[in-house]
Structure 1
Amino acid sequence: MGARLAWIAQRITAVARVLVRASTGTARVVTERLPLVYHVTVVILSAAIASTIPFTLAFVAEKLLGYWSAIRDERTFLVGTEVAVALLLVFLFNHARTNWANRRLAGMARAAGMVHQSSGSGLLSRRSARRLKERHALRRDIMIIGSTGFRTFVDPRGDLHTAIEHCRTAKIMLLDPESPGAFARARTIGEPEITPDRLRTQVQLTIAYLRTFPAAHHRFRLKLYPEPPLWKLVILGDYAWVRHYHPTLDVRLLPEYVFAHRQDVEGLYAAFYQYFVARWNDPAIPEYNLMTGELSVREGAFKETGRALPGGHLP
C-alpha cells in the first residue's frame, strides 16, 4: 500500500513539473509575441479607420448641409456662432501658448537640476519639505549654511529638528553673533524683535542644543562666518536645498528650491556644493569648539585660539 502511494505521489509530481514547464514556455511565448500582437492590432485599426473615412465625411457633410439649410437665414444665430468660435480660438491659442511657455520653463528647470520647489508660507508645503529633508538626511553627511540655526534645529517645528538627529555627521556654518554681519542683519530685517542680542541668544541656544547629542564634538563641526547671510543652503546627500536671505524679509517667507546631483555639467547642485566647500575651507572663518566653547582659526599647519563666544562655555 505504501509503495502504491509513493508511486502515485511520483506521478503527480511529474505531471506538476510538466504543467509548470508548459506554463513557463507559454508565458515566454506570449511575452515575446506581445509586440507583434500590438503592431498587428495597430495596423488593423488603422486600416479600419482609413476605410471608414469616406463614409464618415459623407455623413458629416450631409448633416452639415441639412443644418446649414435650416440656419443660413438666421442672422442672430450666425453672429452668435462666429463670436463663440472666435472666443474658442482665442482660448485655445492662449492655452497652447501658455503650455509652450510652461514646457520651456520646465525644460530649463530640468537642465538646472531642479526637482522640487516649495513655498515658504504654506503649512502643507513646509510639512512636505520637512519630511523630504528627514528622508534625505537619514544616515548621511550633511552640510548647512544658515543664520542662527534656532528655528532650523532647536525649534521642534524646525525643518531640520529631526533630520539633525538621524544624520551621520554635519558641517554647520552659522552667523557670528558678534560680527558686523549680525548687526547689519538685525538692522535691515525690519522686524522689531530681531535685535543683535536676540541673534546672539539664538546662536547660543543652537550651540547648547547641539551639545546635547552624544559625541557631539565628533559628529558636528561648527563655524561662524562674519558676513550678512546670503544663502540658506542645506546639502543632504544628493540634494541641495536653497533659499535666499533677502535683506529685509524673513527667510521663511521665500520659496525653497531643491537641486539634485546629476552626472551632467548643467545642473546647479555642483555649483552650490562647491560654494559650501569654498566657504568651509576659508581660513578666515573661525571654527567653534563644542567642547571648550572657543573660536579658533587655522592658518596653514598652525591653529590660533581666539575669543570665546559669550555664553558658549560649558557649564
Structure 2
Amino acid sequence: MFQESCFVLRAFLRHAAGSLYHIVIVAMSAGIALLLPAGAGRFLSFWSHVEHDTFSLIAVEMIAAVLLMGCFNSVHRSLRDRALAEAALGAGLVSFFPRRGPQARRRIHALKDEQGTGRSVMVIGSSGAETLMDQVGDLSSVLDKCLEAKILLVNPFNRDARARMQALAHPACTYPAFREEVRQSIALLKRLKAIGKVVKLKLYADAPLVKLVILGDYLWLQHYHADLDSQTMPEYVLQRNRKEHGLYTFYAHYFMQRWESPELPEYDLETDELVFRSRTGQEIRREPVEIGPAPVAAPSAETVRVDAQEAFRLLHAPGPYLPVRGYDLE
C-alpha cells in the first residue's frame, strides 16, 4: 500500500513538474517581450557612452570574446554529448549507477519494482543472497508480483565450486557461508512456489561472470570482479529497442543459451533433487541433495594441540581461578 502511494505521488509530481515547466517558459517569453523595448533603449545609451571610451571598448570586446569562446565550447560539448547519447541509445543503455549510495539504492529499488510488476523475471546470480532473499534487496518485492521466475545460481554441491570457494581463503567468502546463502535463497523460492508462482531454479558450476536481471523489456547488468565486492561495481540498465541490435538482445540471448544448456541441472523445489535432462528435454537421472547447513570441517590434530596448550596456559595464569596441576596434554 505504501509503495503504491509513493508511485502515485511520484507520477503526480512528474506531471506537475511538466506543467510547471511550460508555465515558466510562457512567463519568461512574455517578460522578455515586455522588457525588450526598454532594454534596447538602455543598450543604445550604453553603447553611445562606450564607443567614445577606449578602455570600456576594450573591456567589452574581451568580455564578448570570452562569451563567444564559452558558447562555442558549450556547443561542441553538446554535440559530442548528443553523439554519445545516440550511441548509448543505439546500444540500449538507458541508465547507469556508478555507486550504490542510499539515494541510488532507493532509485534502483523503485525502478526494479516498477519494471518487474506483472512481468517474467530471469536472473543470473551467485548465491542469491543480495538479489533474492534480502528483504531490503533489489528483488524483494518484484518476485512477489512477477508472473514467472527463472533463476540461475552457482551450484554449491559441485566439487569444483566448493574447491574454488575454499581456494579464495577469504573470511567473508567461506564455503559454509556461501552454502547457507544458497540454502536461504532456495527456501525463498520454495515459499514463492507454495503460493502459486511459476518458479524454476537451475544451478551452474563455473565461476560467476555477471549478475544479470531481466525484467520484461529492461535488463540490469553488473559485473562480478574477482578481487572486489560486487556491490561496489557499477550497474547498467539496458532496454530492448525495436531494431533488436542493442546489448539487451545480446545478454538476453546469453541467458537463454545458459538456461537451455543440458549441462545445467534443474533443482526440484519439491523433492530437493537435481534433475539432469538430455538435449531433447527428457529426464535422465535424479540426484538427491542435502540442502541443510554445510557441515563444519573437523579441526586438525595440530589445531587441537594448539588449542589445548592455550587452554592449559590460561588455566595456569594468575587470577581468581585455581590452577590445574599435573594435567598431561600428551
- Superposition TM-score, scaled by structure 1 size: 0.71
How far apart, CA to CA, are the structure 1 residues paired with 2:208 and 2:177? 16
Q: CA deviation at 1:127?
A: 1.3
Q: Separation in 1 of the partners of 2:271 and 2:153?
A: 18
Change beyond 3 A, Cα 1:216–1:309: farther
Q: Does 1:265 align with 2:248?
A: no
Shift of 1:216: 6.4
**2:156 matched residue in structure 1:** 177
Cα drift, residue 264 of structure 1 = 0.8
User: Any conservation in 2 of the 1:261–1:270 contact (CA below 8 Å)?
Assistant: yes
Aligned residues: 256
Match of 2:285 in 1: 304
Indicate which of 128, 150, 163 corresponds to 1:149: 128
Provide the C-alpha distance between the structure 2 equivalents of 1:217 and 1:306, rounded to a whole number of angstroms: 25
> Does the 8 Å CA contact 1:297/1:303 hold for their aligned counterparts?
yes
Change (3 A) 1:217 1:257: same
Query: What is the letter of the counterpart of residue 281 of structure 1?
Result: E
Q: What is the Cα deviation at residue 291 of structure 1?
A: 1.1
Percent identical among aligned pairs is 34
- C-alpha change, 1:63 and 1:87, in structure 2 (3 Å) is closer
For the pair 1:234 / 2:217, whether they are aligned, the reply is no
Is the CA contact (8 Å cut-off) linking 1:234 and 1:240 kept in structure 2? yes
Q: What is the alpha-carbon distance in structure 2 between the residues aligned to residue 288 and residue 278 of structure 1?
A: 18
- Which among 147, 164, 168 is matched to residue 168 of structure 1? 147
**1:131 correspondence with 2:107:** no
- For the 8 Å contact 2:192–2:199, the answer to whether it is kept is no
Distance change in 2, residues 1:282/1:305 (3 Å): same
Instruction: Specify whether residues 273 and 297 from structure 1 end up closer, same or farther in structure 2 by C-alpha distance, changes over 3 A only.
Output: same
TM-score (norm 2): 0.68
* Cα gap change, 1:177 to 1:136, in 2 (>3 Å): same
Aligned residue identity for 1:259: L
**1:110 and 1:168, CA in 2 relative to 1: closer, same or farther beyond 3 A?**
same
SS at match of 2:67: helix
Runs of 5+ unmatched residues, structure 2: 1-32, 34-38, 294-330
SS in 2 for 1:204: helix
Q: 51, 72, 79: which one pairs with 1:68? A: 51
Q: 1:138 to 1:63 in 2, by over 3 A?
A: closer
Pairing partner for 2:92 from 113, 119, 124: 113
Stretch moving more, 262-271 or 288-297:
262-271
Quote the Cα distance in structure 2 between the aligned partners of 1:212 and 1:132: 24
The structure 1 residue matched to 2:198, chosen from 219, 227, 240, is 219
Larger Rg: 1
Q: Hey, what's the Cα distance between the residues in 1 that align with 2:69 and 2:116?
A: 48
Greater Cα offset, 207-216 or 234-243? 207-216
CA-CA distance at 1:126 after TM superposition: 1.4
CA shift, 1:64, in A, is: 3.3
Task: Tell me, yes or no, if structure 1 residue 256 matches structure 2 residue 235.
Answer: yes
Separation in 1, partners of 2:232, 2:119: 28
AA aligned to 2:278 is: E
Q: 2: CA distance between counterparts of 1:212 and 1:166? A: 13
Q: Distance in 2 between matches of 1:228 and 1:291?
A: 27
Partner of 1:41: none
- Residues 279 and 216 (structure 1 numbering): CA distance in 2 closer, same or farther, change over 3 Å? farther
Q: Which residue of 1 aligns with 2:176?
A: 197
